[in-house]
Structure 1
Amino acid sequence: MCGSFLRGREHQLETFQQHTCYMPYGTSLRMSDLGYHNDAQAGLKVSYNSLDEYVSSLQHAIRTPYPPYEKLGVKSHGQYQQLNTNILQIENEFYSSIRPKRVTQSGERPTCALADRGGEYIELRCVDLDPFSPLGITDSQIRFLDVFALYCLLEDSPALTEQEQQCNIENLQSIVTQGRDPQLRLTSKCTQAPFRQWAQEHLQKMLQVAQLFDQAHGHSAHSGVVKAQMQKLAQPELTPSAQVMTTLFEQQQPFFEFAMNRAQDTANYFKNQPLSSAEAAAFTKEARRSIEAQRRIEAEDDITFEQYLDNFFAQDACN
């Protein structure tokens, strides 16, 4: 990461090219305490054992005051500093690697939507953009995520104790900061196990799921992407994070310059592939429709922002 992000903060990262900071075996530092981190959420115990428990956990957090936020206050000189003084001011503030979601109706709380109509999709929040792909993700990566998601659905998933859930949180931190370390050990049911061994076991099971995809689509692409992940276990230098570091070292390039170059390459890629007239017309039509919808909503708005917040937060009980 760019060193400017850490200016004035204590850290244990190594430095390269003066302004680039990294961990030798790191995989996704944005998912570590250096990225998505909030002291207020450190003590949250959100359960994934059932949808009811998940909703109940979040609703507890959005109703529980957090003293530092209370000290700050909601308004200062008549201007909002925050929406309220609770641990979670809204559900979407919850930092997690995965979340069940449902499209909400206008003014509806996400937890109420889940409680009322159930989960509609799963949000995988720990998936990084691929800096080497103009789209940020490749066909192979999408196929692997399909296999992974279906495997998670089919695999037996017994309820977790609070201790086991804490072990999972610690495992995630170990992976994002040390995931390429050949000696890394994780905690399975709160018992230490070599990461490579554990990952290989899961990938072997995922290969069976991939074969179902292949049979349905008449190809071997899904099996191929799972095998590619197996290869990364044996050769961590093939992982995306290792490829980024290799590029930086080989080109003696700071991270900021690397990121800017990738952004420019992506911009050039799309500039060289202009939209067809039909596509451009469709986007123009959609933009006009969206602007008109915004005008209509604003014209029909007949309550103050304070009243809107009162109505929104009154849904805590999800009646």
Structure 2
Amino acid sequence: MTTIKQKLERLTSAQFTKAITNINRGIERESLRVNTDGKLSQLDHPIALGSALTHPYVTTDYSESLLELITPPSNNINTTYAQLQDVHKFVAQNIGDEVLWPMSMPCFINNEDDIRIAQFGSSNVGKMKSTYRTGLKNRYGSMMQAISGIHYNFSLPTEFWQLFKELNGSTEDTLEYQSSQYMHMVRNIKRFVWVVTYLYGASPAMCKSFLKGRETGLDFDSFGKGSIFLPNATSLRMSDLGYTNSAQSELNIEYGSLTQYIEKLRKAIHTESAEYKQIGVKVDGEYKQLNHNILQIENELYAPVRPKQVAKSGEKPTDALANRGIMYVELRALDVNPFTPYGITLEQMHVLDVFLLYCLFNSETELNNTQQQEAEENQDKIVLDGRKPDLTLGHNGVVKSRTDWLGEIFKDFATIATWLDNHYGETHYSDAIKATLASANDPTKTLSGKLLAVLHSTNTDNGAYGLKLAQEFKKIILNKETSEFSSEFLQQESIKSLQKQLEVEQADQVDFDQFITEYFKY
């Protein structure tokens, strides 16, 4: 089996330098708007932030108060990070006294009804977005949807795939080769995503209000006035409490090829669910959900990674993938980093680049059902018990200690980092891996370990600490000079987005019922 080092020794030409320095990245950062008392904002999405339907950089996710801040694809990692900072500043300038919640698990929420479903205007596509969210509420409850995360979008340029294909002697069409290699990357992300959760899980504790008397089967400890935690947890967000759905595990989504993935996803969207049928679709003239199938639409699949293609207007995500193949992967396993105003650091971005390339260059090719189950068990262990000193995981049926396995993986990370630095002519990747190695060796240095240490040493409630950080971060964000997106530019984008929403609304030719029927024609 060819080692990663041997593979990289073949990827050293000037052509590869040109290709690899054109990696595109984009970030989507979710964050709740909260009041000065730490409670969820009940205000509409501020008009100064433009239209949540059509603004390219500021939108909402599930709820009216759950902002999503987006950077466009860029081949410069510093540009991406600066854009993220600038969008944060624009938001902070336009939300009055409100602050952005700096953690993945939500603030104190008294009642699920406090979580207002996001509104996107009167167009059919806007109504569809809100109806989909109503369906999520009726299926899973709103509390789960108040959780925030970071999505990291990553793509390699066409010239890389052409060179890589030639080097590996493939006769496939370049686009088909690109998609098959991205699926290889996706399978390995599924296999190794526990590494990201271990390093960057940052939700070992939460407000007790999140459970609201729900039985979890988890043995929580409590501290302060209303906080609960698991002593060795990394990411409660990635547990069954949060953005996973145990009902969906039965879908058996397959990642062997893009065709398999699309077929399984389409089947889930067109297979009735007896449970969801009981909710009804249109009841007394009001939509309760888009349909009563296992998934209403593709986005309902809660997965730590998604292969993606940019969809055209009115095109379903699976159709976009079927028509044009995979353009990028979306890594969805990241908690919001509570130690930075922007939810993610540049150092993390460098490590994620290395991790994603590790998943591409790793020689493990298939992910059969047994291996997928093993990967999911590893992830569950890391989520709930990841910092346990003697934790063991399974790798193709062999039991490995977490520490030893991380040691092996980080050797490959260091090799990839050096290779990237040679192409970029700098040391940022190697520096990031060296700095992160401390967390691999010592669980107390992970984000979850550091957060619990702060909460316990200061005897501070999770919610109180979150609010303190949110207020401090707002000042930092407002004092940062913009460098990529000026406030004036983003104001213009807001005005344009409101106009665009109006145009979308005026362009509708059919009523909502007909629109939905036509959208789901198979």
Which TM bucket (shorter chain)? over 0.9
Show the counterpart of 1:226: 433
Equivalent-residue separation in structure 2 for 1:91 and 1:190 (angstroms):
32
Show the counterpart of 1:8: 213
What's the secondary structure of 2:452's corresponding residue?
A: helix
Equivalent-residue separation in structure 1 for 2:500 and 2:265 (angstroms):
32
Equivalent-residue separation in structure 2 for 1:39 and 1:74 (angstroms):
22
Which has the larger share of helix? 1
Equivalent position amino acid for 2:408 in 1: E
Gaps of 5+ in 1: none
Per-residue deviation, 1:298: 0.9
Q: Is the 8 A contact 1:40 1:66 kept in 2?
A: no
Gaps of 5+ in 2: 1-205
1:85 to 292, 300, 306: 292
TM-superposition CA deviations, 1:295-314 (whole Å, max 9, x none):
11111111111222112211
What's the secondary structure of 1:126's corresponding residue?
A: strand
**TM norm structure 1:** 0.94
Per-residue deviation, 1:39: 4.0
Q: Aligned ranges for residues 122-137 of structure 1 at < 5 Å? A: 122-137=329-344
Show the counterpart of 1:143: 350
Equivalent-residue separation in structure 2 for 1:45 and 1:233 (angstroms):
31
Show the counterpart of 2:491: 284
TM-superposition CA deviations, 1:31-54 (whole Å, max 9, x none):
001111334313121112221111
Equivalent position amino acid for 1:70 in 2: K
Q: Aligned ranges for residues 25-104 of structure 1 at < 5 Å? A: 25-104=232-311
Which protein, 1 or 2, shows the higher relative CO under an 8 Å CA cutoff with sep ≥ 6?
2
Show the counterpart of 1:297: 504
2:377 to 159, 170, 189: 170
What's the secondary structure of 1:42's corresponding residue?
A: helix
Q: Is the 8 A contact 2:234 2:387 kept in 1?
A: yes
Q: Does 1:236 find its partner at 2:443?
A: yes
TM-superposition CA deviations, 1:268-307 (whole Å, max 9, x none):
112223658x812211211111111111111111111122
Q: Percent identity over the alignment?
A: 38
Equivalent-residue separation in structure 2 for 1:38 and 1:293 (angstroms):
35
What's the secondary structure of 2:399's corresponding residue?
A: strand
TM-superposition CA deviations, 1:109-160 (whole Å, max 9, x none):
1111111111111111111121111111111111001111111111123212
**TM norm structure 2:** 0.58
Show the counterpart of 1:185: 392
Q: Is the 8 A contact 1:64 1:87 kept in 2?
A: yes
Q: Is the 8 A contact 2:251 2:268 kept in 1?
A: yes
Equivalent position amino acid for 1:142 in 2: M
Equivalent-residue separation in structure 1 for 2:388 and 2:209 (angstroms):
26
30-39 or 132-141, which deviates more:
30-39
Show the counterpart of 2:109: none
1:261 to 461, 468, 471: 468
Q: Does 1:209 find its partner at 2:389?
A: no
Equivalent-residue separation in structure 2 for 1:59 and 1:36 (angstroms):
21
Equivalent position amino acid for 2:458 in 1: Q
Show the counterpart of 2:362: 155
TM-superposition CA deviations, 1:93-113 (whole Å, max 9, x none):
101111111221111111111
Per-residue deviation, 1:169: 1.1
